């Protein structure tokens, strides 16, 4: 009988201690989730200065066009070999200026909306009027 009493007390103490540890750890993980760092907004103009001349030409074209298929870009930049054009487009996309997607079996590039808003506000970049 004494073994049962001791075992019952140990079980109750174990449950209380386990519950307390769980409560403390659950509270800690919620605090960590709230304090996770937020990704900073890119400094577009500093990042833009790092582009090569050809990348800048492509980006300026995309600023005016907003969205183009890979075929349209290959036609516009026919002086650039296809592999090199693809590499340059991917570098611009990795820097965040553009996004890439698929539609109807084709690849297309779109100007990043967050970047696009900064371009329209900057008077040093000339954009054609909206139709």
81-89: long-range pairs with CB below 8 Å, 24+: 85/58, 88/52, 88/54, 88/55, 88/58, 89/58
Please give the pLDDT value at position 121.
57
Would you state the structure tokens that stand for residue 46, as one six-digit string? Answer: 């500093």
For the chain, the domains span 1-36, 44-121
- The answer to whether 108 and 101 have CB atoms below 8 angstroms apart is yes
End-to-end CA gap in the chain: 90
> Given the structure tokens 């103490």, which residue do they identify?
13
Q: What b/e sequence results for 65-94 when a residue is b if at least 16 CB atoms lie within 10 Å of its CB, and e otherwise?
A: eeebebeebeeebeebeeeebeebbeebee
Would you state the structure tokens that stand for residue 50, as one six-digit string? Answer: 């790092």
Please give the pLDDT value at position 114.
87
Q: Is the domain covering 44-121 a CATH 1.10.10.10 domain?
A: yes
* pLDDT by residue, tens only, the chain of 131 residues: 667 767 667 667 676 767 667 677 666 555 444 555 555 667 888 898 999 999 999 999 999 999 999 999 999 999 999 999 999 999 999 999 999 999 888 999 999 988 888 876 555 554 444 44
């Amino acid at each position: 009988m004494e073994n049962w009493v001791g075992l019952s007390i140990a079980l109750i103490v174990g449950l209380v201690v386990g519950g307390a540890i769980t409560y403390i750890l659950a509270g800690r993980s919620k605090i960590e989730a709230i304090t996770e760092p937020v990704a900073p907004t890119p400094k577009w103009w500093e990042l833009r200065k790092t582009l090569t001349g050809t990348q800048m030409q492509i980006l300026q074209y995309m600023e005016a066009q907003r969205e183009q298929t890979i075929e349209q870009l290959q036609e516009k930049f026919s002086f650039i070999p296809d592999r090199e054009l693809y590499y340059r487009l991917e570098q611009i996309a990795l820097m965040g200026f553009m996004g890439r997607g698929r539609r109807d079996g084709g690849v297309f590039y779109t100007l990043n909306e967050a970047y696009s808003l900064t371009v329209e506000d900057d008077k040093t970049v000339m954009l054609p009027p909206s139709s």
